[in-house]
Amino acid sequence: MAKVVVLGAGISGHTAASHIRKKLGRKHEVIVVSPSEYYQWIPSNIWVGVGRMTIDQVRFKLAPLYKRWGIKFEQAKAVAIYPGGNELNNKPYVSVEYTSSGKKGEKADIEYDFLINATGPKLNFEATEGLGPGKFTHSVCSCDHAVETWEELKTCINRMKNGEKLKFLIGTGHPGATCQGAAFEYALNMANEIKRTGMMNQAELIWITNEYELGDFGMGGAFIKRGGYITSTKTFSESVLAEYGIRWIKRAGVTKVEKGLAYYETLDGEKKTQEFDFAMLIPAFAGSGMKAFNKNGEDISNTLFAPNGFMKVDADYSGKPFEDWNIEDWPSVYQNPLYKNIFAPGIAFAPPHQISKPMKSPNGTLITPAPPRTGMPSGVTGKIVALNIVDMINKDQTDFRHKASMGKMGAACIVSAGFGLFKGQAATMTVFPIVPDWEKYPQWGRDLSYTVGEIGLAGHWIKLLLHYLFLHKAKGYPFWWLLPE
């Protein structure tokens, strides 16, 4: 009997747990450890943040589903991994601290044969002074945050109705933040809602980003066929922002936020400020903060994790110069090189390097987006890790059949730009591969025949369809396994 422990029940962890449970016989045990009692479909948080969906439309409780599936659910936070066990017991285990109301603060050790670290990112608001909910800015990174953000946005709309002119600042809240796509979506949806209430004349909308050029999205931008030209996502993104009445500040790393004032440094080293009445800024991401210890209780976190807290996997971490980066540097099976029974799919794995070219200001501040790994790559990597573990258990196979490198995987990003079955619209962007392959596609880095960039009602329908399909899949409704990641 094998015991598989999955840390995290987000897109990657939940996908991995569901496929392992489906493929493995009941004699094997599957345990999911997650600090939240809910699964949330994060891409739809944007709509919660503008009041178009309620919090319960984007989340559901995990415990009843896992009970039905025969998965043991521990509502707890993983604190430390002991990959070689301890002095008394050779069996590897994870130390957890319960977060459920009945057992809050209690600690336990959970043994494993296989460990999937799918803890996702820690929303590192602390990396920017004054950033985040409860301080001076808002967020849509979790559904709870999105609810608070909508409450504040409503207040701002009412203030504008009473004649006030307000400034809205949306974008990235740290020089190394990623997930520009989510902030971009929020900016467009917010502009759409303000326009709908007839308050555009009272609002100044500002997009602030650490991207070198708009449309970089942490993947070095992309080129798309559009209107008879091959054009960059810079032109595409600028066009969308201009259409929605949003001006922009680029090459800007937000370093500190005070009430109504964001401090930022630009790539040319200038230190500037931007006033705001409402700000939604995405924080930097970091690893979950788990530690690792050897049998003697010595801290071996730096062998398991990269300095940013993300887990090392089968990638090339030699720190090559930008010009030598290659798609082969990227992991394909997400297996820890030292402990072969530990895997880290989704956002939890440490990228070997950035995808966007690293840029530093004269003061030495790195102002470059981190690589995006949310959404589709998270689900796909969760699934292939699950299938490979199943092969290891059932067939004793260590030659992995299932692989998914970001250098060989495409991604579709549906950027919502307004809600409504007939009045909504979204920008549909697809790229293949996510990490540019300059050897295979020397001119554009990617296969242009796969690349799309267009705006329209169809994009909104797709985004809405994905919301319902992925929740159907996540809830384990009939034929859920037929839906691809």
Residues that bind another protein in the complex, under the rule CB under 8 A: 235, 238-239, 241-243, 246-248, 376, 380, 383-384, 401-404, 408-412, 422-423, 425, 428, 430, 432-433, 450, 452, 454-459, 461-462, 484-485
Separation CA 370–CA 357 (nearest Å): 10
Structure tokens at 277: 């009445």
Distances (CA, A) of 332 to 98, 406, 407: 33, 8, 9
How many whole angstroms from its chain centre is CA 305?
18
Quote the least distance from Cβ 195 to another protein, whole Å: 13
Q: Could you give the C-alpha distances from 449 to 226, 233, 441, 442, 456, in angstroms and in order?
A: 12, 15, 11, 14, 20
* Beta carbon nearer to another protein, 63 or 457: 457
CA angle 290, 369, 40 (to 5 degrees): 55
User: CB neighbours (10 Å) of residue 306?
Assistant: 17
- Distance in Å, CB of 246 to another protein, minimum: 8
Q: Which two tokens stand for residue 200?
A: 């555009």
Q: Give the other-Cβ count within 10 Å of 200's Cβ.
A: 15
Shortest CB 423 distance to another protein, Å: 7
- Positions of E strands within 209-331: 223-226, 229-232, 246-249, 252-258, 261-266, 271-275, 278-282, 284-286, 291-292
Shortest Cβ distance from residue 234 to another protein (Å)? Answer: 9
Q: Which residue, 283 or 331, has its beta carbon nearer to another protein?
A: 331
Find the shortest distance in angstroms from Cβ 161 to another protein: 26
Task: Write the CB contacts of 40 (distance below 8 Å, at least 6 apart in sequence).
Answer: 10, 58, 59, 142, 143
Q: CB within 8 A of 321, min separation 6: which ones?
A: none
> Least separation, in Å, of the C-beta of 212 and another protein?
14
Choice between 79 and 462, CB closer to another protein: 462
Q: Are 377 and 147 in contact (CB under 8 A)?
A: no
Least spacing, CB of residue 464 vs another protein, in Å: 11
Place of tokens 């500190």: 256
Nearer to another protein, 243 or 258 (CB): 243
| For another protein, the closer CB: 450 or 477 | 450
How far apart, in Å, are the Cα atoms of 160 and each of 164, 197, 262? Answer: 5, 10, 21
| CB closer to another protein out of 72 and 402 | 402
Minimal distance, residue 466 CB to another protein, in Å: 9
Closer residue to another protein in complex, CB, 55/452:
452
For the bound state, the minimum distance from the C-beta of residue 251 to another protein, rounded and expressed in Å, comes to 12
The burial class, CB within 10 Å (0-12 / 13-18 / 19+), for 27 is exposed
Token pair recorded at residue 103: 């057992």
User: What is the token pair recorded at 71?
Assistant: 């998965």
Q: In this structure, are residues 28 and 17 in contact, taking their beta carbons and an 8 Å threshold?
A: no
Q: Is the peptide bond before 433 cis (omega within 30 degrees of 0)?
A: yes
- The CB-of-243 to another protein minimum distance in angstroms stands at 6
Residue whose CB is less far from another protein, 295 or 408: 408
219 or 404, CB closer to another protein? 404
Question: Nearer to another protein by C-beta: 125 or 264?
Answer: 264
> Residue 36 half-sphere exposure, CB side, CA atoms within 13 Å?
16
